[in-house]
Amino acid sequence: MTASPAPIRLLLADDHPVVRAGLRAVLDAEPGFRVVAEAATAERAVELAAAGGFDVVLMDLQFGAGMHGSQATAAITAHPDAPHVLILTTYDSDADILAAVEAGAAGYLLKDAPPEELAAAVRTAAAGRSALAPAVAHRLMDRMRTPAEALTKRELEVLQLVGEGLSNLQISKRLFLSQATVKSHLVHIYAKLGVDSRTSAVAAATARRLIRR
Amino acid sequence: MTASPAPIRLLLADDHPVVRAGLRAVLDAEPGFRVVAEAATAERAVELAAAGGFDVVLMDLQFGAGMHGSQATAAITAHPDAPHVLILTTYDSDADILAAVEAGAAGYLLKDAPPEELAAAVRTAAAGRSALAPAVAHRLMDRMRTPAEALTKRELEVLQLVGEGLSNLQISKRLFLSQATVKSHLVHIYAKLGVDSRTSAVAAATARRLIRR
DNA sequence: CCCGACATCAACCTTTCGATTGACCGGCCC
DNA sequence: GGGCCGGTCAATCGAAAGGTTGATGTCGGG
């Protein structure tokens, strides 16, 4: 027998009990992992992470209500000695990926990932390296290759809200901006996407999977 | 020891390995349940269900590719002696719920349901009764109260083009109408969807799966 | 250190959209 | 036959969106 190394201590943050149970089942079956705690809300995940005792946090992006996963990620990684945060979500839009990386996520996985890929990513994250799902990595490469039409993070935020049906006034309030700024972002978005209206911008962005639907 | 009754035999159909593991963990912990098989695609679920040996199928609606969960449900329930199909999904759009009920689903649950609720619904479905999550039941009641909601064929045509980013003028030319008629259709669409702009109409219609994307 | 990219805001003007009102016609059902 | 619904169109008015120009501050790289 070799001496077992210290196990990787995990915190699961997802609002779906079934998903938490699934992650627990999959990861506990893996040697070297220990699921220490679960959080059903992003807020709770931040609390628990602040208390310490974790190596890796598995974080969903969409919680039913309250704080968003990327906000929680930012709050967690702001700490010194913070655990590594691994995003585990259903969607792979540019907007989501950029927000998560920006917030300090160590990796980005999709929920349809097979267990081995999941386990490998957790190990990678625990070692302090970046872990991107192949599909996600591919999107990022695409983005690099065509810098002309790459929307900035802020532009994607605005576009996302346009896609949800908000007016410029509503967007300006949501993002604490003036309407002038929202319009300004939209002008840039239209130019980059080669369109001339909000609805066609949403159509183009949806087709290119820039925003989530 | 009392004689144990025959266990309820389950088929899990979901494209996420993690979710399948979670359902298995949650349901196997419950006395009287036995997870007999899993399917990662809707097509596979139909095959397995046709072979028999199940009392209840837990069916996701959105599979990454291929057949939709509601189609699979219809295919399964078309059989005589078919198992009861319980929908288990993330979304609770009207269109999804109606399509599932239409397809012969015995119940409709949301993935954020607590394990007890899930177990109770499975038992209810196995007994041949209907099982609706409270949130879902609420939506259905809402819908009954507002029967005005169905869009006409023409309205859907217009809405589809709006979703593709066309202006009223472009739509009028495409459909050989006057702009006035297009506007008239839009007014009706807004009223039925409960929105007040083209972008939010598209958002609402997308959420309810009224138009293709 | 300067320049460019990004984000922010303002003022002005034109076009489009949305809301309202009202009208006509062809089916369909009781 | 008289309603009702769906589809068509028109005129009008105010609100929202889009186009243009220009300005400010910050930040990072060459």
Instruction: Please list the rounded mean pLDDT of every run of 10 residues in chain A (213 residues).
Output: 73 93 91 93 93 93 84 87 90 78 85 88 89 72 57 91 94 93 92 90 88 76
| B114 contact residues in A (CB cutoff 8 A) | 17
Residue B5 has pLDDT above 80, yes or no: no
Alpha-carbon gap: B2 to the closest alpha carbon of chain A (Å): 30
Residue B202 has pLDDT above 90, yes or no: yes
The reply to whether A138 touches chain B by the CB within 8 Å rule is: no
Q: Which nt has its C1' nearest the CA of A196?
A: D18
The reported pLDDT for the residue numbered B114 is: 87
Can you give the distance from the CA of residue A180 to the C1' of nucleotide C13 in angstroms?
15
Residue B138 has pLDDT above 80, yes or no: no
Region of A53 on the Ramachandran plot (φ > 0 left; ψ -120 to 50 alpha; else beta): left
Reported confidence tier of residue B176, pLDDT bands at 50, 70, 90: very high
Residue B147 has pLDDT above 80, yes or no: no
| B201 contact residues in A (CB cutoff 8 A) | 165
Sheet holding A107-110, edge to edge: A33-39, A8-13, A56-59, A84-89, A107-110, A131-132
Phi, psi (rounded to 5 degrees) for A75: -65, -40
Lookup: tokens for B163? 């979703």
Write down the residue that tokens 């329930």 correspond to.
B77
Query: Looking at chain A from residue 110 to 129, which residues have their Cβ under 8 Å from any Cβ of chain B?
Result: 111-115, 118
The reply to whether A203 touches chain B by the CB within 8 Å rule is: yes
DSSP class of residue B178 equals: -
**Model confidence pLDDT, tens digit, residues A104-145:** 888 888 888 888 989 999 999 999 888 787 777 666 655 555
Q: Report the distance separating Cα A59 and Cα A75, nearest Å.
A: 12
Report which of A94, A96, A48 is spatially closest to residue A68, judged by C-alpha positions: A96
* Contact indicator for A126, A56 with CB cutoff of 8 Å: yes
Can you give the distance from the CA of residue A112 to the C1' of nucleotide C6 in angstroms?
35
Strand C CB-contacts below 7 Å: A 152-155, 172, 175, 177-178, 180-181, 183-185, 197; B 167-169, 179, 183-184, 186-187, 190, 196-198
Q: Which nt has its C1' nearest the CA of B196?
A: C18
CB < 8 Å & 24+ apart, contacts of B71-74: B71/B42, B71/B103, B72/B13, B72/B42, B72/B43, B72/B45, B72/B46, B73/B100, B73/B103, B73/B104, B73/B105, B74/B102, B74/B103, B74/B104
Helix or strand (DSSP H, E) at B85:
strand B84-89
Q: Is the CB of B183 under 7 A from strand D?
A: yes
> C-alpha angle with apex B198: B192 to B201, nearest 5 degrees?
40
Q: What is the mean pLDDT of residues B48-70?
A: 88
Q: Report the distance separating Cα A31 and Cα A26, nearest Å.
A: 10
Can you give the distance from the CA of residue B187 to the C1' of nucleotide D17 in angstroms?
18
* Contact indicator for B26, B115 with CB cutoff of 8 Å: yes
Measured between CB atoms, which of A17, A24, A164 is closest to B114?
Answer: A17
Q: What is the mean pLDDT of residues B16-40?
A: 91
Report which of A15, A10, A67, A12 is spatially closest to residue A38, judged by C-alpha positions: A12
Which tops the pLDDT comparison, B92 or B120? B120
Instruction: Note the pTM of the prediction, 2 decimals.
Output: 0.76
